[in-house]
Amino acid sequence: MALEHIDIAELDPAHTVVVATGNAHKLVEIEDILGRALPGTRFVALGQLGDFEEPEENGTTFAENAIIKAEAAVAATGLTAVADDSGLVVDALDGEPGVYSARYAGVHGDDAANNAKLLANMRDVPDAERTARFMSVVALIEPSGLVRLGEGACEGTVGHEGRGEHGFGYDPLFLPADTPGKTMAELMPEEKNAISHRFHALQDLCQKLAAEDRGADGTADSAAATTPEASCNAAEEA
């Protein structure tokens, strides 16, 4: 799915959210969920607006890194921006690889090396202690500096060998609790997206935005006051 170039001058700042990504599929996923709480908003990928230098992700938590990326997008465009940061947290390794998931073995994005290091570090860990979770934090930041966060997790365990041809990163080793017997990489994209940590983080943010909207409109028993949150819940049930 190719992303078309967009002239930033043509965008309405009051009704535009920049997604700090060049990934078309991530853009669609974020638009589908957050668009329910932000009707009338246009979501565009940062990569559609030009070539921008990626910020240094030197945070010590997923939230800090998500904020770093969203703040960089706001600074580059002057528009409201959303970004996510995620990784694998393994209980037996005291939370490793965590925020260093993408560069666990030393080189950013070397999935094979990262998976090999993870398996080596867990060689003697018994099945009952191989619990882990994918974690995600989504940050939505306005030009005013207002920050909103959504958090999500996908619980599971780390397998003993990689399986599956889909996904990326640690997907071949991760067995979600929601899909017993299957690794994340053995799931079709629509199956993964329905249980993923980013999906749950976006749902969390969507519900927070809907609650704000309901609070701004008052708590009367009107359809308008409940529709945004209902839309978020509908997205979760879909």
- Catalytically annotated residues: 85
Token pair of 192 as six digits: 């993964």
**119 CB contacts (<8 Å, ≥6 apart)?**
160, 161, 173
Cα separation, 184 vs 197, whole angstroms:
12
Cα separation, 190 vs 8, whole angstroms:
31
Cα separation, 42 vs 28, whole angstroms:
11
**Which DSSP helix (H) or strand (E) runs through 64?**
helix 62-77
C-beta contacts of 189-196 below 8 A and 24+ residues apart = 189/25, 192/166, 192/167, 193/29, 194/238, 195/154, 196/134, 196/136, 196/152, 196/154
CA dihedral 140, 144, 145, 146 (to 10 degrees): -50
**Which DSSP helix (H) or strand (E) runs through 84?**
strand 80-90
Contact 158, 130 (CB under 8 A): yes
Closest among 55, 86, 89 to 70, alpha carbons compared: 55
